[in-house]
Chain A
Amino acid sequence: MEITDKDINHLADLSNTSLSSEEKEALKQDLGNILKYIGKLDELNTDGVEPTYQVFEMENVWRNDEIAAQDANREELLNLTKEEIENQIKVPKVL
Protein backbone atom coordinates (compact mmCIF):
# COMPACT_ATOMS: atom_id res chain seq x y z
CA MET A 1 0.00 0.00 0.00
CA GLU A 2 1.32 3.41 -0.95
CA ILE A 3 1.35 6.15 1.67
CA THR A 4 0.45 9.59 0.35
CA ASP A 5 1.31 13.03 1.73
CA LYS A 6 -2.24 13.26 3.01
CA ASP A 7 -1.87 9.90 4.85
CA ILE A 8 1.40 10.91 6.48
CA ASN A 9 -0.04 14.23 7.67
CA HIS A 10 -3.10 12.46 9.06
CA LEU A 11 -0.94 9.88 10.88
CA ALA A 12 1.36 12.59 12.26
CA ASP A 13 -1.76 14.32 13.52
CA LEU A 14 -3.14 11.14 15.14
CA SER A 15 0.30 10.61 16.69
CA ASN A 16 0.48 14.22 17.94
CA THR A 17 3.91 14.64 16.43
CA SER A 18 5.31 17.40 14.25
CA LEU A 19 7.66 16.13 11.53
CA SER A 20 10.17 17.83 9.25
CA SER A 21 9.47 17.53 5.53
CA GLU A 22 12.60 15.40 5.17
CA GLU A 23 11.40 13.01 7.87
CA LYS A 24 7.94 12.84 6.31
CA GLU A 25 9.46 11.65 3.04
CA ALA A 26 11.55 8.98 4.80
CA LEU A 27 8.56 7.79 6.84
CA LYS A 28 6.36 7.62 3.75
CA GLN A 29 8.79 5.15 2.27
CA ASP A 30 9.30 3.14 5.49
CA LEU A 31 5.62 2.93 6.37
CA GLY A 32 4.75 1.86 2.83
CA ASN A 33 7.30 -0.97 3.03
CA ILE A 34 6.10 -2.08 6.46
CA LEU A 35 2.45 -2.12 5.34
CA LYS A 36 3.44 -4.12 2.28
CA TYR A 37 5.07 -6.70 4.54
CA ILE A 38 2.18 -6.98 7.01
CA GLY A 39 -0.24 -7.26 4.09
CA LYS A 40 1.08 -10.83 3.90
CA LEU A 41 -1.69 -11.76 6.35
CA ASP A 42 -4.20 -11.54 3.50
CA GLU A 43 -2.90 -14.92 2.28
CA LEU A 44 -4.30 -16.58 5.39
CA ASN A 45 -7.95 -17.57 5.70
CA THR A 46 -9.27 -16.55 9.11
CA ASP A 47 -13.00 -17.00 8.50
CA GLY A 48 -14.76 -18.04 11.68
CA VAL A 49 -11.66 -17.62 13.87
CA GLU A 50 -12.16 -15.82 17.19
CA PRO A 51 -9.66 -12.98 17.76
CA THR A 52 -7.22 -13.06 20.70
CA TYR A 53 -6.57 -9.64 22.23
CA GLN A 54 -4.62 -10.84 25.23
CA VAL A 55 -3.23 -14.10 26.57
CA PHE A 56 -3.79 -13.45 30.27
CA GLU A 57 -6.13 -16.11 31.56
CA MET A 58 -8.00 -13.99 34.06
CA GLU A 59 -10.60 -11.28 33.73
CA ASN A 60 -11.71 -8.55 36.11
CA VAL A 61 -9.02 -8.75 38.74
CA TRP A 62 -10.49 -6.76 41.62
CA ARG A 63 -8.85 -5.24 44.64
CA ASN A 64 -10.45 -4.21 47.90
CA ASP A 65 -11.92 -0.73 47.80
CA GLU A 66 -9.37 0.64 50.21
CA ILE A 67 -6.83 3.41 49.89
CA ALA A 68 -3.44 1.79 49.46
CA ALA A 69 -0.18 3.44 50.46
CA GLN A 70 1.34 5.26 47.48
CA ASP A 71 4.96 4.83 46.41
CA ALA A 72 5.45 8.50 45.59
CA ASN A 73 3.93 11.59 47.19
CA ARG A 74 2.55 14.73 45.55
CA GLU A 75 5.72 16.74 46.07
CA GLU A 76 7.94 14.06 44.53
CA LEU A 77 5.68 13.85 41.49
CA LEU A 78 5.47 17.62 41.04
CA ASN A 79 9.27 17.80 41.25
CA LEU A 80 9.43 15.83 37.99
CA THR A 81 7.90 18.61 35.91
CA LYS A 82 9.79 21.46 34.28
CA GLU A 83 7.70 24.28 35.68
CA GLU A 84 5.52 24.30 38.74
CA ILE A 85 3.49 27.06 40.30
CA GLU A 86 1.48 26.71 43.52
CA ASN A 87 1.39 22.93 43.39
CA GLN A 88 0.32 22.95 39.75
CA ILE A 89 2.13 22.12 36.52
CA LYS A 90 2.72 25.15 34.31
CA VAL A 91 2.19 24.84 30.54
CA PRO A 92 1.80 27.45 27.74
CA LYS A 93 -1.46 29.36 27.50
CA VAL A 94 -4.33 27.20 26.28
CA LEU A 95 -6.92 29.81 25.33
Chain B
Amino acid sequence: MKIADSSTSAVSLVESSLKRIEETKDYNIFTYVDKNRALKKAKEIDEKIKRGETVGRLAGVPFALKANFLSKGRPADASAKILTEFISPIDSTTTEKLEAEGAICVGCVNLDAFAHGSSTENSYYGPTSNAFDKTRVAGGSSGGSAVAVALGCVEFATGSDTGGSIRQPAAFNGVFGIKPTYGTISRYGVVAMASSLDVIGFFTKAAEDLDILMSITAGQDPKDQTTLPDFYGKNDTPLNKKKIGFIKEFMESSALNPEIKASLESKLNEAKENGYEIVELSMPTLEYALAAYYIIQPAEVASNLSRYDGVRYGFRSSNVKSLDDLFANTRDEGFMRENKRRIMIGNFVLSSGFYDAYFLKAAKVRTLIIDEFNKAFESVDAILSPVSPNLAFKIGEKTSDPVLMYLEDVMSVPVNLAGIPAVAFPTGKSKDGLPLGLQLLGPRRSDKNLIKLAGKLA
Protein backbone atom coordinates (compact mmCIF):
# COMPACT_ATOMS: atom_id res chain seq x y z
CA MET B 1 0.00 0.00 0.00
CA LYS B 2 1.23 3.47 -0.84
CA ILE B 3 1.10 5.64 2.31
CA ALA B 4 1.25 9.45 2.15
CA ASP B 5 4.58 11.00 3.20
CA SER B 6 6.73 14.03 2.43
CA SER B 7 7.22 12.88 -1.17
CA THR B 8 3.70 11.59 -1.95
CA SER B 9 0.80 13.76 -0.86
CA ALA B 10 -2.47 12.35 0.46
CA VAL B 11 -4.26 14.67 -1.96
CA SER B 12 -2.51 13.05 -4.92
CA LEU B 13 -3.43 9.57 -3.64
CA VAL B 14 -7.08 10.55 -3.24
CA GLU B 15 -7.18 12.38 -6.58
CA SER B 16 -5.88 9.36 -8.46
CA SER B 17 -8.39 7.16 -6.64
CA LEU B 18 -11.26 9.50 -7.62
CA LYS B 19 -10.02 9.59 -11.21
CA ARG B 20 -9.98 5.79 -11.35
CA ILE B 21 -13.51 5.63 -9.88
CA GLU B 22 -14.66 7.93 -12.71
CA GLU B 23 -12.89 5.82 -15.36
CA THR B 24 -14.49 2.58 -14.13
CA LYS B 25 -18.01 3.97 -13.73
CA ASP B 26 -19.54 1.50 -16.18
CA TYR B 27 -18.63 -1.42 -13.88
CA ASN B 28 -21.24 -0.10 -11.40
CA ILE B 29 -18.91 -0.42 -8.39
CA PHE B 30 -19.65 2.64 -6.23
CA THR B 31 -23.08 3.46 -4.88
CA TYR B 32 -21.81 6.68 -3.28
CA VAL B 33 -18.64 8.74 -3.85
CA ASP B 34 -17.56 11.05 -1.05
CA LYS B 35 -15.30 13.34 -3.07
CA ASN B 36 -15.32 16.56 -1.06
CA ARG B 37 -14.93 14.96 2.33
CA ALA B 38 -12.12 12.71 1.06
CA LEU B 39 -10.20 15.65 -0.41
CA LYS B 40 -10.70 17.72 2.73
CA LYS B 41 -9.31 14.95 4.91
CA ALA B 42 -6.39 14.45 2.51
CA LYS B 43 -5.49 18.15 2.79
CA GLU B 44 -5.55 17.93 6.58
CA ILE B 45 -3.19 14.94 6.49
CA ASP B 46 -0.81 16.73 4.10
CA GLU B 47 -0.68 19.72 6.43
CA LYS B 48 0.11 17.47 9.36
CA ILE B 49 2.94 15.86 7.37
CA LYS B 50 4.27 19.32 6.47
CA ARG B 51 4.25 20.34 10.12
CA GLY B 52 6.12 17.15 11.00
CA GLU B 53 3.25 15.79 13.12
CA THR B 54 2.64 12.06 13.39
CA VAL B 55 0.13 10.63 10.97
CA GLY B 56 -1.39 7.16 11.20
CA ARG B 57 -0.25 3.89 9.74
CA LEU B 58 -2.72 4.33 6.85
CA ALA B 59 -2.13 8.03 6.22
CA GLY B 60 -3.83 9.13 3.01
CA VAL B 61 -4.69 5.60 1.88
CA PRO B 62 -7.98 5.66 -0.09
CA PHE B 63 -10.41 2.88 0.78
CA ALA B 64 -14.00 1.84 0.04
CA LEU B 65 -16.66 0.72 2.48
CA LYS B 66 -18.97 -2.12 1.59
CA ALA B 67 -22.31 -0.30 1.75
CA ASN B 68 -23.49 -2.35 4.76
CA PHE B 69 -20.95 -0.51 6.97
CA LEU B 70 -22.30 2.52 8.81
CA SER B 71 -20.23 5.68 8.79
CA LYS B 72 -21.36 9.00 10.11
CA GLY B 73 -22.92 11.31 7.53
CA ARG B 74 -22.76 8.77 4.73
CA PRO B 75 -25.57 6.65 3.32
CA ALA B 76 -25.51 3.04 4.54
CA ASP B 77 -28.24 1.32 2.59
CA ALA B 78 -26.74 -2.17 2.14
CA SER B 79 -27.83 -1.79 -1.53
CA ALA B 80 -31.40 -2.38 -0.34
CA LYS B 81 -34.35 -0.16 -1.23
CA ILE B 82 -35.72 -0.40 2.31
CA LEU B 83 -32.63 1.43 3.63
CA THR B 84 -32.47 4.11 0.95
CA GLU B 85 -32.52 7.65 2.39
CA PHE B 86 -30.86 6.33 5.57
CA ILE B 87 -27.87 8.52 6.41
CA SER B 88 -25.95 7.00 9.29
CA PRO B 89 -25.69 9.02 12.51
CA ILE B 90 -22.91 6.72 13.82
CA ASP B 91 -19.59 5.18 12.78
CA SER B 92 -18.98 1.45 12.75
CA THR B 93 -16.03 0.55 14.98
CA THR B 94 -14.08 -0.64 11.92
CA THR B 95 -14.60 2.65 10.04
CA GLU B 96 -13.61 4.60 13.12
CA LYS B 97 -10.39 2.60 13.62
CA LEU B 98 -9.38 2.85 9.95
CA GLU B 99 -10.04 6.59 9.79
CA ALA B 100 -8.17 7.15 13.05
CA GLU B 101 -5.08 5.70 11.31
CA GLY B 102 -5.46 8.23 8.49
CA ALA B 103 -7.19 6.03 5.91
CA ILE B 104 -9.55 8.03 3.68
CA CYS B 105 -12.97 6.69 2.74
CA VAL B 106 -13.67 7.67 -0.88
CA GLY B 107 -17.10 6.05 -0.97
CA CYS B 108 -19.40 3.08 -0.55
CA VAL B 109 -19.53 0.07 -2.86
CA ASN B 110 -22.21 -2.25 -4.16
CA LEU B 111 -23.34 -5.58 -2.68
CA ASP B 112 -26.25 -7.98 -2.93
CA ALA B 113 -29.00 -6.28 -0.90
CA PHE B 114 -28.36 -7.10 2.78
CA ALA B 115 -25.45 -9.30 1.56
CA HIS B 116 -27.97 -11.90 0.35
CA GLY B 117 -26.32 -13.36 -2.69
CA SER B 118 -23.24 -14.73 -4.40
CA SER B 119 -23.00 -12.45 -7.42
CA THR B 120 -23.95 -8.83 -6.48
CA GLU B 121 -26.90 -9.23 -8.87
CA ASN B 122 -29.45 -8.95 -6.05
CA SER B 123 -28.63 -5.27 -5.57
CA TYR B 124 -31.21 -2.48 -5.79
CA TYR B 125 -28.58 -0.71 -7.93
CA GLY B 126 -28.10 -3.59 -10.36
CA PRO B 127 -25.10 -5.89 -10.79
CA THR B 128 -21.42 -4.93 -10.56
CA SER B 129 -19.33 -6.29 -13.44
CA ASN B 130 -16.35 -8.57 -13.01
CA ALA B 131 -12.99 -6.76 -13.19
CA PHE B 132 -11.77 -9.04 -16.00
CA ASP B 133 -14.92 -9.53 -18.09
CA LYS B 134 -17.79 -7.04 -18.03
CA THR B 135 -20.32 -9.70 -19.08
CA ARG B 136 -19.54 -11.76 -15.97
CA VAL B 137 -20.47 -11.32 -12.31
CA ALA B 138 -18.28 -9.74 -9.66
CA GLY B 139 -19.15 -12.52 -7.24
CA GLY B 140 -20.78 -11.66 -3.97
CA SER B 141 -22.00 -10.47 -1.81
CA SER B 142 -18.98 -8.11 -1.50
CA GLY B 143 -18.70 -7.74 -5.30
CA GLY B 144 -18.18 -3.97 -5.29
CA SER B 145 -15.34 -4.25 -2.76
CA ALA B 146 -13.46 -6.89 -4.77
CA VAL B 147 -13.77 -5.07 -8.10
CA ALA B 148 -12.85 -1.68 -6.54
CA VAL B 149 -9.55 -3.20 -5.35
CA ALA B 150 -8.93 -5.27 -8.51
CA LEU B 151 -9.36 -2.24 -10.80
CA GLY B 152 -7.20 0.00 -8.60
CA CYS B 153 -9.96 2.40 -7.48
CA VAL B 154 -8.80 1.95 -3.87
CA GLU B 155 -5.92 0.32 -2.00
CA PHE B 156 -8.28 -1.74 0.12
CA ALA B 157 -11.97 -2.29 0.79
CA THR B 158 -13.98 -3.63 3.69
CA GLY B 159 -16.20 -6.69 3.38
CA SER B 160 -18.43 -8.98 5.39
CA ASP B 161 -18.47 -12.77 5.04
CA THR B 162 -21.43 -14.86 6.21
CA GLY B 163 -21.00 -17.80 3.83
CA GLY B 164 -18.22 -16.78 1.43
CA SER B 165 -19.06 -13.15 0.66
CA ILE B 166 -15.42 -12.02 0.90
CA ARG B 167 -13.59 -15.08 -0.40
CA GLN B 168 -15.64 -15.82 -3.52
CA PRO B 169 -15.55 -12.28 -4.99
CA ALA B 170 -11.82 -12.10 -4.08
CA ALA B 171 -11.25 -15.30 -6.10
CA PHE B 172 -13.45 -14.08 -8.97
CA ASN B 173 -11.44 -10.85 -9.29
CA GLY B 174 -7.88 -11.95 -8.53
CA VAL B 175 -7.35 -10.21 -5.18
CA PHE B 176 -6.66 -11.25 -1.58
CA GLY B 177 -9.51 -11.50 0.93
CA ILE B 178 -9.67 -12.55 4.57
CA LYS B 179 -12.54 -14.07 6.52
CA PRO B 180 -11.18 -13.87 10.10
CA THR B 181 -11.92 -16.11 13.09
CA TYR B 182 -15.48 -15.46 14.32
CA GLY B 183 -15.36 -12.60 16.83
CA THR B 184 -11.98 -11.11 15.79
CA ILE B 185 -13.24 -7.76 14.48
CA SER B 186 -16.11 -5.77 15.96
CA ARG B 187 -19.37 -5.85 14.03
CA TYR B 188 -20.72 -2.74 15.73
CA GLY B 189 -22.24 -0.54 13.04
CA VAL B 190 -22.42 -3.18 10.33
CA VAL B 191 -25.86 -4.26 9.06
CA ALA B 192 -26.50 -7.66 10.63
CA MET B 193 -27.30 -10.62 8.42
CA ALA B 194 -26.83 -13.91 10.31
CA SER B 195 -25.31 -13.21 13.68
CA SER B 196 -23.74 -16.60 14.44
CA LEU B 197 -21.93 -16.53 11.06
CA ASP B 198 -21.18 -12.89 10.12
CA VAL B 199 -17.60 -11.64 10.25
CA ILE B 200 -15.85 -8.48 9.05
CA GLY B 201 -12.81 -8.70 6.77
CA PHE B 202 -10.87 -7.03 3.96
CA PHE B 203 -9.81 -7.08 0.32
CA THR B 204 -6.26 -6.11 -0.74
CA LYS B 205 -3.75 -6.70 -3.51
CA ALA B 206 -1.09 -8.13 -1.15
CA ALA B 207 -1.07 -10.49 1.84
CA GLU B 208 1.04 -8.06 3.95
CA ASP B 209 -1.69 -5.43 3.61
CA LEU B 210 -4.24 -7.81 5.12
CA ASP B 211 -1.94 -8.14 8.13
CA ILE B 212 -1.71 -4.35 8.59
CA LEU B 213 -5.52 -3.97 8.40
CA MET B 214 -6.09 -6.86 10.80
CA SER B 215 -3.62 -5.49 13.32
CA ILE B 216 -5.49 -2.16 13.26
CA THR B 217 -9.07 -3.44 13.42
CA ALA B 218 -8.93 -6.69 15.43
CA GLY B 219 -9.76 -6.56 19.12
CA GLN B 220 -12.39 -6.64 21.79
CA ASP B 221 -15.01 -3.90 21.53
CA PRO B 222 -17.31 -2.98 24.41
CA LYS B 223 -19.92 -2.11 21.76
CA ASP B 224 -19.91 -5.67 20.39
CA GLN B 225 -20.05 -8.29 23.10
CA THR B 226 -19.30 -11.07 20.63
CA THR B 227 -15.73 -9.86 20.12
CA LEU B 228 -12.98 -12.12 21.45
CA PRO B 229 -10.34 -10.84 23.87
CA ASP B 230 -7.42 -9.39 21.85
CA PHE B 231 -5.27 -12.10 20.31
CA TYR B 232 -4.16 -10.88 16.90
CA GLY B 233 -0.38 -10.48 16.93
CA LYS B 234 -0.30 -11.46 20.61
CA ASN B 235 -1.67 -14.92 21.09
CA ASP B 236 -1.81 -16.41 17.61
CA THR B 237 -2.32 -20.13 17.05
CA PRO B 238 1.00 -21.37 15.63
CA LEU B 239 1.14 -23.22 12.31
CA ASN B 240 4.37 -25.15 12.65
CA LYS B 241 3.68 -28.74 11.65
CA LYS B 242 4.80 -28.07 8.08
CA LYS B 243 1.75 -30.02 6.92
CA ILE B 244 -0.94 -28.82 4.53
CA GLY B 245 -4.13 -30.78 3.94
CA PHE B 246 -6.60 -30.92 1.10
CA ILE B 247 -10.18 -32.19 1.24
CA LYS B 248 -10.60 -35.38 -0.76
CA GLU B 249 -14.34 -34.85 -1.29
CA PHE B 250 -13.77 -31.36 -2.77
CA MET B 251 -10.87 -32.51 -4.95
CA GLU B 252 -12.93 -35.38 -6.36
CA SER B 253 -16.16 -33.38 -6.75
CA SER B 254 -17.59 -33.62 -10.25
CA ALA B 255 -18.84 -30.03 -9.86
CA LEU B 256 -15.28 -28.66 -9.52
CA ASN B 257 -14.08 -26.71 -12.57
CA PRO B 258 -11.02 -28.59 -14.02
CA GLU B 259 -8.90 -25.45 -14.17
CA ILE B 260 -9.51 -24.73 -10.47
CA LYS B 261 -8.68 -28.36 -9.70
CA ALA B 262 -5.44 -28.10 -11.70
CA SER B 263 -4.56 -24.91 -9.85
CA LEU B 264 -5.12 -26.64 -6.49
CA GLU B 265 -2.97 -29.60 -7.52
CA SER B 266 -0.20 -27.35 -8.74
CA LYS B 267 -0.18 -25.29 -5.50
CA LEU B 268 -0.05 -28.48 -3.43
CA ASN B 269 2.91 -29.64 -5.52
CA GLU B 270 4.67 -26.31 -5.01
CA ALA B 271 4.11 -26.58 -1.26
CA LYS B 272 5.55 -30.11 -1.33
CA GLU B 273 8.65 -28.86 -3.14
CA ASN B 274 8.99 -26.21 -0.44
CA GLY B 275 9.15 -28.84 2.28
CA TYR B 276 5.48 -29.18 3.28
CA GLU B 277 4.00 -32.60 3.76
CA ILE B 278 0.68 -32.89 1.87
CA VAL B 279 -2.09 -34.76 3.69
CA GLU B 280 -5.32 -36.04 2.15
CA LEU B 281 -8.26 -35.41 4.48
CA SER B 282 -11.60 -37.13 4.26
CA MET B 283 -14.35 -34.80 5.52
CA PRO B 284 -17.62 -36.48 4.50
CA THR B 285 -19.91 -34.24 6.59
CA LEU B 286 -18.96 -31.16 4.55
CA GLU B 287 -21.31 -32.42 1.85
CA TYR B 288 -24.13 -31.43 4.22
CA ALA B 289 -22.72 -28.02 5.18
CA LEU B 290 -24.62 -26.08 2.54
CA ALA B 291 -27.99 -27.57 3.51
CA ALA B 292 -27.30 -26.80 7.19
CA TYR B 293 -26.19 -23.29 6.23
CA TYR B 294 -29.37 -22.64 4.24
CA ILE B 295 -31.38 -23.41 7.37
CA ILE B 296 -29.31 -21.61 10.01
CA GLN B 297 -28.55 -18.51 7.94
CA PRO B 298 -32.16 -17.76 6.81
CA ALA B 299 -33.39 -18.40 10.36
CA GLU B 300 -31.02 -15.71 11.65
CA VAL B 301 -31.81 -13.46 8.66
CA ALA B 302 -35.54 -13.66 9.43
CA SER B 303 -34.85 -12.49 12.99
CA ASN B 304 -32.37 -9.75 12.06
CA LEU B 305 -34.50 -8.34 9.25
CA SER B 306 -37.66 -8.15 11.34
CA ARG B 307 -36.50 -4.70 12.48
CA TYR B 308 -37.08 -3.11 9.05
CA ASP B 309 -40.61 -1.80 9.27
CA GLY B 310 -40.50 1.69 7.76
CA VAL B 311 -41.20 3.37 11.08
CA ARG B 312 -37.93 4.68 12.48
CA TYR B 313 -35.63 5.05 9.45
CA GLY B 314 -35.20 4.31 5.76
CA PHE B 315 -37.84 3.82 3.09
CA ARG B 316 -41.55 3.93 3.96
CA SER B 317 -44.28 2.81 1.56
CA SER B 318 -46.69 5.54 0.50
CA ASN B 319 -49.41 2.95 -0.10
CA VAL B 320 -50.58 3.01 3.51
CA LYS B 321 -54.01 3.11 5.16
CA SER B 322 -53.23 1.45 8.48
CA LEU B 323 -50.19 0.63 10.60
CA ASP B 324 -50.35 -2.96 9.39
CA ASP B 325 -50.17 -1.72 5.78
CA LEU B 326 -47.19 0.39 6.67
CA PHE B 327 -45.24 -2.65 7.89
CA ALA B 328 -46.35 -5.13 5.23
CA ASN B 329 -46.21 -2.81 2.20
CA THR B 330 -42.90 -1.24 3.21
CA ARG B 331 -41.40 -4.72 3.50
CA ASP B 332 -42.98 -5.88 0.23
CA GLU B 333 -41.75 -2.86 -1.73
CA GLY B 334 -38.45 -2.45 0.12
CA PHE B 335 -37.04 -5.99 0.05
CA MET B 336 -35.64 -7.77 -3.02
CA ARG B 337 -37.05 -11.16 -3.98
CA GLU B 338 -34.02 -12.91 -2.48
CA ASN B 339 -34.47 -11.08 0.83
CA LYS B 340 -38.06 -12.34 0.94
CA ARG B 341 -37.03 -15.91 0.11
CA ARG B 342 -34.60 -15.95 3.00
CA ILE B 343 -36.96 -14.34 5.49
CA MET B 344 -39.72 -16.79 4.58
CA ILE B 345 -37.47 -19.87 4.62
CA GLY B 346 -36.16 -18.67 7.99
CA ASN B 347 -39.64 -18.28 9.41
CA PHE B 348 -40.55 -21.70 8.00
CA VAL B 349 -37.66 -23.58 9.64
CA LEU B 350 -38.27 -21.80 12.93
CA SER B 351 -42.04 -22.27 12.95
CA SER B 352 -43.82 -24.64 15.26
CA GLY B 353 -43.90 -28.18 13.89
CA PHE B 354 -40.79 -27.72 11.73
CA TYR B 355 -38.20 -26.48 14.22
CA ASP B 356 -36.89 -29.91 15.24
CA ALA B 357 -36.80 -31.30 11.73
CA TYR B 358 -34.94 -28.33 10.27
CA PHE B 359 -33.32 -25.87 12.67
CA LEU B 360 -32.37 -28.32 15.42
CA LYS B 361 -31.15 -30.84 12.85
CA ALA B 362 -28.96 -28.19 11.19
CA ALA B 363 -27.54 -27.13 14.56
CA LYS B 364 -26.52 -30.75 15.18
CA VAL B 365 -24.92 -31.04 11.75
CA ARG B 366 -22.99 -27.88 12.62
CA THR B 367 -21.47 -29.73 15.60
CA LEU B 368 -20.40 -32.59 13.33
CA ILE B 369 -18.75 -30.14 10.92
CA ILE B 370 -16.86 -28.43 13.75
CA ASP B 371 -15.69 -31.84 15.00
CA GLU B 372 -14.44 -32.71 11.53
CA PHE B 373 -12.39 -29.51 11.33
CA ASN B 374 -11.01 -29.98 14.85
CA LYS B 375 -9.86 -33.45 13.91
CA ALA B 376 -8.32 -32.21 10.65
CA PHE B 377 -6.30 -29.51 12.43
CA GLU B 378 -4.82 -32.13 14.74
CA SER B 379 -2.91 -33.45 11.74
CA VAL B 380 -2.36 -30.38 9.52
CA ASP B 381 -1.57 -26.66 9.93
CA ALA B 382 -3.93 -25.53 7.26
CA ILE B 383 -6.22 -26.80 4.51
CA LEU B 384 -5.93 -25.67 0.91
CA SER B 385 -9.30 -25.64 -0.84
CA PRO B 386 -11.18 -24.19 -3.77
CA VAL B 387 -13.28 -21.15 -2.80
CA SER B 388 -16.07 -21.96 -5.20
CA PRO B 389 -16.44 -24.82 -7.68
CA ASN B 390 -16.74 -22.31 -10.55
CA LEU B 391 -15.01 -19.41 -12.23
CA ALA B 392 -16.91 -16.10 -12.50
CA PHE B 393 -20.13 -16.91 -14.34
CA LYS B 394 -22.18 -14.83 -16.80
CA ILE B 395 -24.46 -12.09 -15.49
CA GLY B 396 -28.00 -13.53 -15.48
CA GLU B 397 -26.82 -17.14 -15.72
CA LYS B 398 -28.04 -18.21 -12.27
CA THR B 399 -30.60 -15.60 -11.24
CA SER B 400 -33.67 -17.65 -12.11
CA ASP B 401 -32.72 -20.63 -9.94
CA PRO B 402 -31.97 -19.82 -6.27
CA VAL B 403 -30.67 -23.32 -5.50
CA LEU B 404 -28.17 -23.09 -8.37
CA MET B 405 -26.97 -19.76 -6.96
CA TYR B 406 -26.74 -21.23 -3.42
CA LEU B 407 -24.50 -24.02 -4.75
CA GLU B 408 -21.88 -21.31 -5.42
CA ASP B 409 -21.29 -21.34 -1.65
CA VAL B 410 -20.84 -25.09 -1.25
CA MET B 411 -17.09 -24.89 -0.55
CA SER B 412 -17.09 -21.63 1.41
CA VAL B 413 -19.86 -22.05 4.01
CA PRO B 414 -18.21 -24.79 6.13
CA VAL B 415 -15.69 -22.15 7.31
CA ASN B 416 -18.45 -19.88 8.64
CA LEU B 417 -20.31 -22.72 10.34
CA ALA B 418 -17.10 -23.65 12.17
CA GLY B 419 -16.06 -20.03 12.94
CA ILE B 420 -12.53 -20.64 11.63
CA PRO B 421 -10.43 -18.19 9.58
CA ALA B 422 -9.71 -18.48 5.84
CA VAL B 423 -7.67 -16.43 3.39
CA ALA B 424 -8.51 -16.32 -0.33
CA PHE B 425 -5.63 -15.59 -2.66
CA PRO B 426 -5.12 -15.38 -6.44
CA THR B 427 -3.34 -18.24 -8.22
CA GLY B 428 -3.29 -17.07 -11.85
CA LYS B 429 -5.64 -16.97 -14.81
CA SER B 430 -7.80 -19.48 -16.63
CA LYS B 431 -7.30 -20.07 -20.35
CA ASP B 432 -10.06 -17.51 -20.97
CA GLY B 433 -8.29 -14.92 -18.85
CA LEU B 434 -10.50 -15.17 -15.76
CA PRO B 435 -8.88 -15.08 -12.31
CA LEU B 436 -8.28 -18.34 -10.46
CA GLY B 437 -8.17 -18.34 -6.67
CA LEU B 438 -7.94 -20.70 -3.73
CA GLN B 439 -8.57 -20.42 0.00
CA LEU B 440 -6.41 -21.48 2.90
CA LEU B 441 -8.28 -22.57 6.05
CA GLY B 442 -6.74 -22.60 9.51
CA PRO B 443 -7.66 -23.28 13.12
CA ARG B 444 -9.21 -20.53 15.25
CA ARG B 445 -6.89 -17.62 16.04
CA SER B 446 -4.34 -18.64 13.40
CA ASP B 447 -5.32 -15.61 11.29
CA LYS B 448 -1.93 -13.89 11.37
CA ASN B 449 0.02 -17.02 10.53
CA LEU B 450 -2.54 -17.99 7.91
CA ILE B 451 -2.06 -14.64 6.12
CA LYS B 452 1.70 -15.24 6.15
CA LEU B 453 1.31 -18.76 4.77
CA ALA B 454 -1.18 -17.66 2.10
CA GLY B 455 1.28 -14.95 1.05
CA LYS B 456 3.99 -17.60 0.67
CA LEU B 457 1.75 -19.92 -1.34
CA ALA B 458 0.34 -17.20 -3.64
Residue A23 interfacial (CB < 8 Å): yes
Across-interface contacts of A49 in B (CB, < 8 A) = 364, 367-368
Inter-chain contact A51/B285, CB cutoff 8 Å: no
Inter-chain contact A52/B363, CB cutoff 8 Å: yes
| Contact residues of A between 32 and 65, Cβ < 8 Å to B | 33-35, 37-44, 46, 49-58, 61, 63
Across-interface contacts of A85 in B (CB, < 8 A) = none
Residue B351 interfacial (CB < 8 Å): yes
Q: Answer whether A15 and B418 are a contact pair too, CB < 8 Å, given A51-B363, A80-B89.
A: no
Inter-chain contact B332/A17, CB cutoff 8 Å: yes
Across-interface contacts of B368 in A (CB, < 8 A) = 44, 46, 49
Which residue from chain A places its CB closest to the CB of B312 in the assembled complex? A81
Query: How big is the A interface, by class?
Result: 35 or more
Inter-chain contact A17/B343, CB cutoff 8 Å: yes
Inter-chain contact A37/B321, CB cutoff 8 Å: no
Inter-chain contact B89/A77, CB cutoff 8 Å: yes
Across-interface contacts of A57 in B (CB, < 8 A) = 183, 228
| A94 to B332 alpha-carbon distance, docked (Å) | 20
Inter-chain contact B402/A61, CB cutoff 8 Å: no
Q: Is the interface of B mostly helix, strand, loop or mixed?
A: helix
Inter-chain contact A41/B288, CB cutoff 8 Å: yes
Residue B7 interfacial (CB < 8 Å): no
Inter-chain contact A37/B347, CB cutoff 8 Å: no
| A47 to B413 alpha-carbon distance, docked (Å) | 23
Across-interface contacts of A40 in B (CB, < 8 A) = 288, 291
Which residue from chain A places its CB closest to the CB of B368 in the assembled complex? A49
The 8 Å CB contact of B347, one of A14, A52, A79, A94, is A14
| Contact residues of B between 88 and 111, Cβ < 8 Å to A | 89-91
Which residue from chain B places its CB closest to the CB of A57 in the assembled complex? B228
Q: Answer whether A82 and B86 are a contact pair too, CB < 8 Å, given A11-B348, A38-B358.
A: no
Compute the total of residue contacts between A and B using a CB distance below 8 Å.
163
Cβ distance B229 to chain A, nearest Cβ, rounded Å: 8
The 8 Å CB contact of A46, one of B91, B225, B364, B370, is B364
Residue B433 interfacial (CB < 8 Å): no
Residue A16 interfacial (CB < 8 Å): yes
Residue B292 interfacial (CB < 8 Å): yes
The 8 Å CB contact of A11, one of B311, B323, B344, is B344
Across-interface contacts of A46 in B (CB, < 8 A) = 361, 364-365, 368
Q: Answer whether A16 and B327 are a contact pair too, CB < 8 Å, given A31-B348, A41-B288, A51-B367.
A: yes
Residue A91 interfacial (CB < 8 Å): yes
Query: How big is the B interface, by class?
Result: 35 or more
- Flag A60-95 by CB within 8 Å of B: 1 or 0 each: 010100001001100011011110000001011110
| A61 to B341 alpha-carbon distance, docked (Å) | 33
Cβ distance A51 to chain B, nearest Cβ, rounded Å: 3
Which residue from chain A places its CB closest to the CB of B182 in the assembled complex? A55
Q: Answer whether A80 and B313 are a contact pair too, CB < 8 Å, given A11-B344, A46-B361.
A: yes
Residue B302 interfacial (CB < 8 Å): yes
Inter-chain contact A15/B337, CB cutoff 8 Å: no
Which residue from chain A places its CB closest to the CB of B183 in the assembled complex? A56
- Flag B328-358 by CB within 8 Å of A: 1 or 0 each: 1101100101001101110111010000001
- Flag B195-218 by CB within 8 Å of A: 1 or 0 each: 110000000000000000000000
Across-interface contacts of A63 in B (CB, < 8 A) = 222, 225
Residue B295 interfacial (CB < 8 Å): yes
| A49 to B430 alpha-carbon distance, docked (Å) | 42
The 8 Å CB contact of B288, one of A31, A44, A50, is A44
| A26 to B337 alpha-carbon distance, docked (Å) | 10
Given contacts A16-B328, A31-B344, A56-B196, 14 further A-B contacts (CB under 8 A): A16-B309, A16-B331, A17-B332, A23-B337, A37-B291, A37-B406, A40-B288, A40-B291, A41-B291, A49-B367, A52-B370, A80-B89, A81-B312, A92-B322
Residues of B within 8 A of A (CB): 86-87, 89-91, 182-183, 195-196, 222, 225-226, 228, 285, 288, 291-292, 294-295, 302, 306, 309-314, 316, 320-323, 325-329, 331-332, 335, 337, 340-341, 343-345, 347-349, 351, 358, 360-368, 370, 401-403, 406, 417-419
A to B CB contacts below 8 Å, 7 in the list: A17-B332, A26-B337, A31-B341, A41-B291, A50-B367, A51-B367, A71-B90
Residues of A within 8 A of B (CB): 7-8, 11-12, 14-20, 23, 26-27, 30-31, 33-35, 37-44, 46, 49-58, 61, 63, 68, 71-72, 76-77, 79-82, 89, 91-94
